[in-house]
Amino acid sequence: MSKGLYTLDFSEIGTEDHDRVGGKCASLGDMTQAGVAVPPGFAVTTDAYAEMLKHHGLQAEIERHLKGVDPDDLDSVDRAAQAIRIRIRSHHLPESVEAAIRVAYAEMGEGMPVAVRSSATAEDMPDASFAGQQDTYLWVKGGDDVVAKVRDCWASLYTTRAVAYREKNKISHIDVLMSVGVQKMVNAKTAGVAMTLDPVTGDRTRIVIDASWGLGELVVSGIVTPDNYTVEKILMEVIDRKISDKHVELVGDAALGEAVEREVEEARRKVQCVSDAEIIAIATLAKQLEKQKKCPQDIEWAIDADLPEGQNLLALQSRPETVWSQKKKDGAKKTYSTGMMGIVSTLNSALKVKT
């Protein structure tokens, strides 16, 4: 895929492209270039979003709707945010932007199921926890649906929560741009998150892993209480494990062409969903990413049921850990009684899935 104005393949993206592809896609590109196993895909650049605003004169409309909004009056914020989302969704993409997205998707394989994920430029700023404030769409198939979901991701830059957050933190709405990642769907047997420190104590000699059946979105959104494993980072040994009742999973349904929630049968609910060898493999990946990124990491991973053992562990996202780095910076005393789930519960917004 040739490097273009409106789309960039993950293999073409480095950390220097952050302003064009946002934190999520910059991280995926950086990992891809470093040889980490990442599902293939591409970023729809912020140039495409900016062209959408310019083509339809949306910047002036956005500024008009937000003029005089009181961030402490949620009804006022909600009315303005909803009006902006409606305006964005009511317009077709500029022809050049839509054509670029369709070409990039076709090169992945027309009809391939993909995840369409928002990647805002302010998403992973250490002082602005944007992660999870915009939308993610799973099991998207076909050029028409991919184009529509890209536009929906752009509109989600103006959710009530995101608008209120920017207002309260005095972040310019117009200066925050939106890239969108389009990435091959993973047929996840198990998935979850890993942190290269203990999220309760900040102990950097530990890697803490949460895991559950199916796609990881139910873990990061807090719907499922996952298994929890602690690995000693130097010796790479499992030193603690808590097995939970994992009552529901999110899986791709090829017949329906979407991700669906389904109950986990009794035989799998209360058993360990990853082997000890897989736990160590996840910890090794996390340790590798921490070394590569040069700071503690918060990682989303999945084990793909369609890939052979030893090649089936995939990194879906790696971002700098923010809670303890921010605590160290401001010296504040905080308590995190809910463990990892208290930290990752805002990583993803509500999913558009069949329930």
Q: Which domains does the chain have, with CATH numbers?
A: 7-184 (3.30.1490.20), 188-344 (3.30.470.20)
Sign of CA dihedral 236, 237, 239, 241: positive
Consecutive H or E run containing 261:
strand 258-263
Whole-prediction pTM: 0.83
Cβ atoms within 10 Å, residue 83 = 15
Instruction: Name the band, by pLDDT with cuts 50, 70 and 90, for residue 69.
Output: confident
- pLDDT (mean) for 223-231: 96
Residue 277 scores a pLDDT above 80: yes
Residue pair 81/67 in contact (Cβ under 8 Å)? The answer is no
- pLDDT (mean) for 20-36: 93
- Find the angle CA(298)-CA(345)-CA(217) to the nearest 5 degrees: 80
Tokens 């939970």 belong to which residue?
244
Token code pair at residue 275: 């082997």
Residue pair 124/130 in contact (Cβ under 8 Å)? The answer is yes
- Name the maximum alpha-carbon separation found in the chain: 58
Closest CA to 282 of 191, 348, 188: 191
Q: Crossing angle of helices 95-109/143-155, nearest 10°?
A: 120
Could you read off the pLDDT of 42-53 as tens digits, one per residue? 999 999 999 999
Predicted pLDDT at 112: 92
Token code pair at residue 300: 């989303």
DSSP 123-156: TT-TT---TTSS-EEEEE-SHHHHHHHHHHHHHG
Instruction: Name the band, by pLDDT with cuts 50, 70 and 90, for residue 256.
Output: confident
Tokens 């022809």 belong to which residue?
95
Helix count and strand count (H, E) for the chain = 12, 13
- What percent of the chain shows pLDDT beyond 70? 87
- pLDDT (mean) for 62-77: 90
Could you read off the pLDDT of 294-336 as tens digits, one per residue? 999 999 999 999 999 989 999 999 989 877 766 655 554 443 3
- Tell me, what DSSP letter sits at residue 94? P
Token code pair at residue 38: 């990442």
DSSP 279-293: HHHHHHHHHHHHHHH
Q: Crossing angle of helices 58-66/74-89, nearest 10°?
A: 170
